[in-house]
Amino acid sequence: MRRLGYLLAVAILILWSVGPIYWSLVTSLTPPNALVGTGLRFWPEAATLEHYGKLFGAASISQGNQVQSVWPQFSRALANSIVTSLAATLVTVIVAAFGAWAFVRLRFPGRDALFVIIVATLGVPAYTVMIPLYRIMIGAGLVDTYVGVTLIYVSAFLPLALWLMRSVYQAMPLSLEEAAWLDGASKLHTLVRIVLPLAGPGLVATAILTFLSAWGQFMVPLVFSPTLSTKPLTVLIPEFVTRNYVDYGLMNAAGIVAIVPPVLLVIFLNRFLVQGLMAGASK
């Protein structure tokens, strides 16, 4: 009975997680005229790649009319999502790697209080600082720029990254660093050559969380990326809804393509994360 309950819970969890993705895939392969039909179908009777063709720029005809491609807008939004997510991840991981080590190993007045204040900003709702932040960005000329969006992402994700890396450093034995200092190594050399390689799993976990958080952002780019110059996929895809027509097939096709980069990144980095944890345990 307990095993049956366990299997049922696992099945519900899988359905809850994979179900929406599967339904988006089915919708993206369903012809436009079948999307408004009656009856529930778990797979289209006649699957079509028309929506993906419209997405990627392939010429197609739908109901006798030429279908206009959205590839120019989609490709630019995809590039914007990749650039801002990678930039935010890189800056956040670097700052967290050095900053968290300083909070653990260095002694300076107000160290613990400053760390608590930084982490406490995680509890501040984003919308409460949106207007003053927008005024600051307008004054600095950073609205609708990669630098401006990246800085906002870093300021939002850095507290959690610092907290994660601080926990990693606290779990590491101080004796390794003290041995390096006795051999004449500087603190910077010790951090870069000894501490960071051992903290690899924590760095990978921080990078994964930061990238996924940046990739899925909607409200921040909606306000600070008003044009296609920096607009990401999360803002572009809802714009496929017009006043008179909702292109469900195109929206779901774009959504399926949009989840591919983060999924591949998680799979790739997760493998190295497991290897790093096993290597750290063996040492």
Alpha-carbon distance of 19 to 21, in angstroms, equals: 5
pLDDT in tens, 122-170: 988 888 899 999 999 999 999 999 999 999 999 999 999 999 999 889 9
Helix ranges, the chain (H): 2-28, 32-35, 50-56, 71-105, 111-120, 130-140, 146-171, 174-182, 187-190, 196-198, 200-215, 219-224, 233-236, 248-258, 260-282
Which string of b and e fits 126-156 if b means at least 16 CB within 10 Å? eeeeeeebeeebeeeebbbbbebbbbbbbeb
Q: Considering Cα of 270, then 272, then 273, then 275, what sign does the dihedral take?
A: positive
Q: How many whole angstroms separate alpha carbon 11 and alpha carbon 14? A: 5
Domains, the chain, with CATH or none: 2-48 (no CATH), 71-282 (1.10.3720.10)
Return the pLDDT at 37. Answer: 67
CB-CB contact of 111 with 103 (8 Å)? yes
Strand, coil or helix: what is 35?
helix
Total-model pTM? 0.88
**What does the pLDDT read at residue 271?**
67
Stretches in the chain below the pLDDT threshold 70:
37-39, 58-68, 271-283
Closest alpha carbon to 158 in 121, 131, 127, 114: 121
pLDDT at 66: 46
Please report the pLDDT score of residue 244 as a whole number: 76
* β-strands 61-62, 65-66 pairing: antiparallel
